[in-house]
A and B are shown apart, each in its own frame.
Chain A
Amino acid sequence: MKRRDFVHLSGLGLGAMMLPNFPVSGRPVSAEALLESGVDVAVKKRLADAALNAAKAKGATYTDVRIGRYLNQFVVTREDKVQNIVNTESYGVGVRVIANGCWGFAAIVDAKSEADTARAAEEAVAIAKANAKLMKEPVILAPQKGYGEVSWKAPIQKNAFEVPIKEKVDLLLGVNDAALKNGANYVNSVLFMVNEQKYFASSDGSYIDQDIHRIWPIFAVTAIDPKSGKFETRQTLSAPVGMGYEYLQTNPKDKITGITTRYNKGYDMLEDVIAASKQAKEKLTAKSVEAGKYDLVLDPSHLWLTIHESVGHPLELDRVLGYEANFAGTSFATLDKWQSKNFNYGSKEVTLFADKTQVGSLGAVGWDDEGVKTKRWDLVKDGTLVNYQAIRDQAHIIGEKESHGCCYADSWSSVQFQRMANVSLAAGKTPLSVAEMIKDVKKGIYIIGDGSFSIDQQRYNFQFGGQLYYEIKDGEIVGMLKDVAYQSNTQEFWNSCVKICDERDYRLGGSFFDGKGQPMQSSAVSHGSSTARFNGVNVINTARKV
């Protein structure tokens, strides 16, 4: 299912949601079926061994087998109606091999027998041998030790799939009711839950069983001024997270109060929709921004997307090398800049790191989709470009002895490739609160929530909007603004970063729908930061007369 289908299905309207692509594949099933246990781990090992042996017998020098069961549930409502309740399940096996120095991949749906998985392995070897004729150099794979039989489970407290549908419907209809009572003319809300049950086996001797959970509660409210015909929307300030249903349990310690309440590891959907409904109305009469240079104070609920586009993507090694040239693009962060060891990606304040282990993040797993143990590493250290994101067949290009562990496939039926790890901005080391940061700003805009976003194919020039904009004058927030977007250049922007709040303010944002590859695959990724200040950024006014 593509983003447009999801947007249509959820009634959110095009452009209403930041949802590049939605990877739900599989068949609708009953909610109860989502709780049935999948294939037993001992059976999976037998199925995997059959594929490993079959590939080896046909001449593969390396093989990995992914047996995946992917579960999705989403509950879609608008105003007082439940529009849709969808449960899907997808199960199958993907086998990847190296034969004659070339990759080959084949997948089979509903693989139940050793003969099924062996057949997929043999097809993968045949494809590898056919494609080998078109290869210039054989694949060089970074060495990887086998881990034996191991497992990893996301540390969730409450499996969202165990919560009765009625409870979820009641939550969303309650949220919608609160929106309508507080000034919204329309409201759409969705509860979106994912469980990936992934088994990985490789000819290196790993048998890895993993259980991953994600949840994303979202809404969009619309306020209309019938006289002028103007309308404004305000979307949720929640984040998609690698958590269970506990994310929806409200807890005062997870709330960040201020001009509007923001959330950390627990999300109060009802409180947020009440604020959103009032703010959407307030936007209708807010002051239209005067274009010019402003100091920007960017909340983590906004900054995650700027990090994603201007740091996460350009530092993916496959883009740097040209493998995504025909679709997602290449990168300004070329190898010579990294080799120089003095490329100023940002100011001295700026350290950006990749991390596949952050608890509660979307990218957290024990091992990646080629059996590499996950870790944290620096990409930009004190402002200087120091590394990229690379997987096993790329590590040698940047002189690394091992993969970074950021290989991912969005389904058993998709071939795994390099995907973005959680890429985050390190919190400031000096104690600094948001209030203290704003106190020093003479002419600025405080931006909360993500909005419109666009960046060029080499990740230089970008433009971002948000959900809420507040004008800062002489250290005080003086009122709400609208029609705001900022434009900058990646290197200039990160070099204009002068202050970052300390770790008390550190929060994750993210998306389920990072798209890359042809055919396109979606990946879920989080980006953490504390509120940060960027000086003298170009702000444009987006209002136009038609």
Chain B
Amino acid sequence: MSVILTEAEAKALLQKVLKYSKADECEVNLLGELRGNLRYARNEVSTSGLLINQNLSVQSSFGKKVGVATIDEFDDASIEKVVRRSEELAKLAPENPEYMGVLEPQTYLKGSGYFESTAKMTPESRADAVAKSLGLSKGQNLQAAGFLENRNGYTAMINSKGLFAYYANTNVNFSLTVRTDDGTGSGYVIKGYNDFNKLDTAKASSIAVQKSLGSKGAKALEPGKYTVILEPTAAVVLLENIYFDMDARGADEGRTFFSKPGGKTKLGEKIVDERVTFYSDPQHPDLPASPWSGDGQAQGKTKWIEKGVVKNLSYSRYWAAQKGVKPLPGPNNMIMEGGTATLEEMIKSTKRGILVTKLWYIRPVDPQTLLLTGLTRDGTFYIEDGKIKHPIKNFRFNESPIIMLNNLETLGVSERVVSTESDQSYMVPPMKIREFTFSSLSDAV
């Protein structure tokens, strides 16, 4: 049997698993994936690998006692064994008061994240893509270090109430750091797509090469508050900390940024500039995502923050029942609406400011204000009178993405970007922000 099953093959296998169940309720999850990668450093290939992963997970329950067992072999004897084992574990487990039972059948939107171009990738196509990248740094006194990784996979689930869900998708991510031989310049690029045909490693690499050469001879600027233009790669690692925090339970319990005194939450409150809108949409053409959540709930288009106002927080089925509201699963993707400005226009309209390529080592400092710390990296430039004047030394910043989105000047066009912190893909625009707080200088290149 192939590792990647079609919807019909997955359904037939899952129905067979369900037939062995003797529990009150049973839910089965199935996953198959092929991952290939090629890593290079010092202008030559360093490691490469292939991971084949397939897994069948059976959850059985008796009342509120739940057990899970998994297996990676799919013959009849193995399937029966894993079902029996999950039932034994359930009988031994303590009651889980938060167990909500399996879901009724749901209606899902159509998924669209699978591309043949990516599914067909081979070690040779990876090597060719990397060769195009390496070709650009050769002969220029530059050192390239990069990583190309592709995935072809599917997930499927079934339960004893008749719910069935299936989603296949492909993904390819490419990242590259180019450093000058003397270690005084460094540039970075990262691109991610579902469709390998959209990835142009040479074009992407030329950005990293240009940033690397352009960042040589950086001058020190005094730390303080500056107008910044954050490229999407820099902005996303701050913004995703807002997304991660948008769960109702923590907010209701009084222990997140979205909490308010007296056990209330910021739901319905304006927290950032009115030009800020975040939404999730599994059918977004540039950022397709699974139309169902891990527990089988349907995912639709959901506004999380609209015109600066908190529109939704996610509610697990348990927490929704406690609060008497409709459950809302956490999003499978996140899109920030953009404006119309190009990066060039934003630079041109800046009297004095800093262009930031990438932010690094982001860590929460204070969860009450979502204050984060981290540093600029791989291409930081001083802007004066609408022009990039010169590269500058890297800064450490201490800033909250909430404060930042209240100090919004301009939004550019939203584009697909990969978070270098979480590896998740998002749609984020470049943005100009006033009074961004840089707290100290770093000598790192």
B175 touches A224 (CB 8 A): no
A13 touches B255 (CB 8 A): yes
Q: A325 and B177 in contact (CB under 8 A), knowing A332-B444, A452-B363?
A: yes
Q: For the complex, is A489 an interface residue (Cβ under 8 Å from B)? A: yes
Q: For the complex, is A194 an interface residue (Cβ under 8 Å from B)? A: no
User: Measured between alpha carbons, how far is A230 from B259 in the docked complex, in Å?
Assistant: 9
Q: A326 and B175 in contact (CB under 8 A), knowing A13-B255, A415-B49, A519-B149?
A: yes
User: Measured between alpha carbons, how far is A505 from B97 in the docked complex, in Å?
Assistant: 45
A465 touches B37 (CB 8 A): no
Residues of chain A with a CB closer than 8 A to B177's CB: 325-326
Option from A231, A452, A458, A465 in Cβ contact (under 8 Å) with B259: A231
Option from A14, A226, A229 in Cβ contact (under 8 Å) with B245: A14
Interface membership of chain A positions 216-250, coded 1 if the CB is closer than 8 angstroms to chain B and 0 otherwise: 00000010101111110100000000000000000
A461 touches B254 (CB 8 A): no
Q: For the complex, is A485 an interface residue (Cβ under 8 Å from B)? A: yes
Q: Which of A134, A224, A226 has the most CB of B within 10 A?
A: A134
With CB as the reference atom, state the residue of chain B lying closest to A86.
B68
Interface membership of chain A positions 429-445, coded 1 if the CB is closer than 8 angstroms to chain B and 0 otherwise: 00000000000000000
With CB as the reference atom, state the residue of chain A lying closest to B371.
A544
Nearest Cβ in chain A — how far from B275, in angstroms?
Answer: 18
Option from A4, A230, A323, A538 in Cβ contact (under 8 Å) with B145: A323
Q: For the complex, is B12 an interface residue (Cβ under 8 Å from A)? A: no
B250 touches A15 (CB 8 A): no
With CB as the reference atom, state the residue of chain A lying closest to B73.
A110
A453 touches B363 (CB 8 A): yes
Residues of chain A with a CB closer than 8 A to B256's CB: 13
User: Measured between alpha carbons, how far is A135 from B256 in the docked complex, in Å?
Assistant: 51
B259 touches A461 (CB 8 A): no
Residues of chain B with a CB closer than 8 A to A136's CB: 43-44
Residues of chain A with a CB closer than 8 A to B70's CB: 27-28
Interface membership of chain B positions 409-445, coded 1 if the CB is closer than 8 angstroms to chain A and 0 otherwise: 0000000000000100000000000000001111111
With CB as the reference atom, state the residue of chain A lying closest to B364.
A15
Q: For the complex, is B279 an interface residue (Cβ under 8 Å from A)? A: no
Interface of chain A, main secondary structure? loop
Q: A456 and B442 in contact (CB under 8 A), knowing A30-B89, A226-B263, A544-B371?
A: yes
Nearest Cβ in chain B — how far from A531, in angstroms?
Answer: 24
Interface membership of chain B positions 64-83, coded 1 if the CB is closer than 8 angstroms to chain A and 0 otherwise: 00001111110000000000
With CB as the reference atom, state the residue of chain B lying closest to A84.
B96
Interface membership of chain A positions 403-442, coded 1 if the CB is closer than 8 angstroms to chain B and 0 otherwise: 0000000000101000000000000000000000000000
Q: For the complex, is A109 an interface residue (Cβ under 8 Å from B)? A: yes
Residues of chain B with a CB closer than 8 A to A4's CB: 244, 422
Residues of chain B with a CB closer than 8 A to A27's CB: 55, 69-72
Nearest Cβ in chain B — how far from A377, in angstroms?
Answer: 25
Residues of chain B with a CB closer than 8 A to A543's CB: 366, 369
Residues of chain A with a CB closer than 8 A to B368's CB: 230-231
Q: For the complex, is A152 an interface residue (Cβ under 8 Å from B)? A: no
Interface membership of chain A positions 26-49, coded 1 if the CB is closer than 8 angstroms to chain B and 0 otherwise: 011110000000000000000000
Q: For the complex, is A259 an interface residue (Cβ under 8 Å from B)? A: no
Q: For the complex, is B268 an interface residue (Cβ under 8 Å from A)? A: no
Q: For the complex, is A483 an interface residue (Cβ under 8 Å from B)? A: yes
Can you pick out 16 interface pairs between chain A and chain B where the beta carbons lie within 8 Å of each other? A4-B422, A15-B364, A27-B70, A30-B85, A30-B89, A227-B262, A229-B261, A231-B259, A233-B367, A322-B179, A323-B145, A325-B41, A325-B179, A330-B183, A461-B441, A485-B365
Chain B interface (Cβ < 8 Å from any Cβ of A): 35, 37, 39, 41-49, 51, 55, 68-73, 85, 88-89, 92-94, 96-98, 123, 127, 143, 145-147, 149, 175-177, 179, 183, 241, 244-245, 250, 253-257, 259-263, 360-371, 373-375, 377, 394, 396, 398, 400, 402-403, 422, 439-445
Top 4 closest pairs, chain A to chain B, by CB = A229-B261, A461-B442, A15-B364, A458-B444
